[in-house]
Amino acid sequence: MKIALIGQPNCGKSTLFNQVAGYKAETGNFPGTTVKYTESKVQVLGEKVDLVDLPGTYSLTGTNLAEKEVLRYLASHEVDVILNVVNATQLMQGLELSLELMELGKPMVIGVNMMDEAGRLGYDIDGPALREKLGVPVLPLVARRGRGIQKLFTTALRIGNDGQGSQRIPFQNPSLEEAIADIAQHFDGKIEGWDPEALAIRLLEDGEEMQEQVEKEVPRVVAEIEKKKQAIEKELGKEPLWAFSAERHILAQELTEQVLSKGEERMTWQARLDKAFLHPFWGYVLLLIVLWTFFQVVYKVGITLEDPLLAAFNALSAQLSQWIGSGSLLANVVVGGVQGIAGGAAIVLPYLIPFLVGMGFMEDVGYLPRVAFLMDALMRRLGLHGKAIVPFILGYGCSVPAVMSTRTLEEKRDRFLSATLATMIPCAARVAVIFGLVAYYLGSQVALGIYIYNLVVIAIVGRLLSNRFLKDTPGLILEVPPYRLPSGRTVFHKTWFRAREFILEAWPLLILGSMALELANHYRISDLLNTLLQPVTWVLGLPSAVGMPLIFGVLRKELSLVMLRQALGVMDFSNALSPVQMITFTIFVVFYIPCLATLAALRREFSTRDTVLIAGLSVVIAMVAALIARGFAYLIAPVLSFQI
Amino acid sequence: MRLVDVEQEQEVRIVDIQGGKGVARKLQQLSLMPGDRVKVTKRAPLRGPLLVEAHGRSVALGRGVAAKVEVEQISS
Alpha-carbon span A1 to A408, nearest angstrom = 29
Q: For chain B, which residues make up each domain, given as ranges?
A: 3-73
Residue among A592, A622, A587 nearest A433 (CA): A587
The whole-angstrom separation of Cα A58 and Cα B57 is 13
Q: What was the pLDDT predicted at A141?
A: 94
C-alpha of B21 from chain center: 16
AA identity, residue B69: V
Residues 6+ positions from A389 with CB-CB distance below 8 Å = A368, A371, A372, A375, A376, A379
Say what the pLDDT of residue A610 is: 92
Closest to B47 (Cβ–Cβ): which among A377, A410, A482?
A377
Dihedral of the alpha carbons of A574, A575, A576, A582, in degrees to the nearest 10? 10
Contact A110, A141 (CB under 8 A): no
Q: Whole-angstrom Cα distance, residue B19 to residue A513?
A: 56
Task: Compare all CA atoms of chain B with the CA of A62 and give the residue at the minimum distance.
Answer: B29
pLDDT at A151: 93
B31 to A249: CB separation less than 8 angstroms, yes or no: yes
Q: Where does CATH 1.10.287 sit in chain A?
A: 174-262
Q: How far apart are CA A629 and CA B58, in angstroms?
A: 41
Shortest distance, CA B58 to any CA of chain A (angstroms): 5
Taking residue A314's Cβ as centre, other Cβ atoms within 10 Å add up to: 18
DSSP state of A504: I
What is the structure's pLDDT at A643?
47
Beta strands in A28-126 (DSSP E): 38-44, 47-53, 81-87, 108-113, 123-125
Delimiting residues of CATH 3.40.50.300 domain(s) in chain A:
2-162
CB-CB: which of A278, A374, A476 is closest to B62?
A476
Distance (Å, whole) CA A149 – CA A598:
36
pLDDT class of B51 with cuts at 50, 70, 90:
very high
- Contacts for A114 with CB less than 8 Å, ≥ 6 apart: A11, A12, A87, A88, A89, A141, A142, A143, A144
Q: How far apart are CA A391 and CA A388, in angstroms?
A: 6
The count of other CB atoms within 10 Å of the CB of residue A427 is: 25
Q: What is the CATH number of domain B3-73?
A: 2.30.30.90
B11: confidence class by pLDDT, cuts 50, 70, 90: very high
Other CB atoms within a 10 A radius of the CB of residue A470 amount to: 10
- Fold for A2-162, please state it: Rossmann fold (3.40.50)
A-B C-beta contacts closer than 8 Å: 117
The answer to whether the Cβ–Cβ distance between B58 and A480 falls below 8 Å is yes
CA distance A316 to A424: 36
- 8 Å CB contact between A428 and A398: yes
Which class does domain A174-262 fall in?
mainly alpha
Q: Pairing between strand A108-113 and A81-87?
A: parallel
Q: Is the CB of residue B56 less than 8 Å from the CB of residue A92?
A: yes
Q: Is the distance from CB of B29 to CB of B46 less than 8 angstroms? A: no
The pairs formed by A288-295 with CB atoms below 8 angstroms and a separation of 24 or more are A290/A362, A290/A367, A292/A448, A294/A358, A294/A362, A295/A444, A295/A447, A295/A448, A295/A451
CA distance A265 to chain B (A): 12
Q: At what angle do helices A579-591 and A557-568 cross, to 10 degrees?
A: 150
Rounded to a whole number of angstroms, the distance from the CA of B63 to the nearest CA of chain A is 7
What angle, 0 to 180 degrees and rounded to 10, lies between the N-to-C axes of helices A608-636 and A579-591?
160
For residues A487, A492, A495 and A498, what is the CA-based torsion angle, rounded to 10 degrees?
-100
pLDDT computed for residue A470 by the predictor: 45
Residue type, A54: L
- From the list A104, A77, A62, A409, the residue with the least C-alpha distance to A207 is A62
| B22 C-beta neighbours (distance < 10 Å), count | 16
CB contact under 8 A, A477 and B30: yes
Measured distance CA(A280)–CA(A300) in Å, rounded: 31
The three-class DSSP label of residue A267 is coil
**CA distance linking residue A587 with residue B56, whole number of Å:** 45
The answer to whether A480 contacts B51, with C-beta atoms less than 8 Å apart, is yes
ipTM of the complex as predicted: 0.91
**Residues A212, A283: contact at Cβ < 8 Å?**
no
d(CA A562, CA A573): 11
Q: Which residues of A touch B41 (CB under 8 A)?
A: 274
CB contact under 8 A, B22 and A246: no
Q: Say which residues have a Cβ less than 8 Å from residue A104's Cβ, sequence separation at least 6.
A: A74, A82, A166, A195, A198
Residues of B in contact with A373 (CB under 8 A): 42, 44, 48-49, 51, 60
Nearest CB to B42; choose among A59, A278, A477: A278
Which pLDDT belongs to residue A267? 57
Note the residue count of chain B. Answer: 76
DSSP for A277-340, please give it. Answer: HT-TTHHHHHHHHHHHHHHHHHHHHHHHHHHHHHHHHHHHHHHHHHHH-TTSHHHHHHHHHHHH
Low-confidence residues of chain A, pLDDT below 70?
A: 23-37, 63-66, 75-77, 189, 209, 265-267, 385-387, 408, 410, 467-474, 637-644
pLDDT (0 to 100) of residue A77: 62
A170 CB-side CA count, 13 A: 10
Query: Is residue A277 less than 8 Å (CB to CB) from chain B?
Result: no
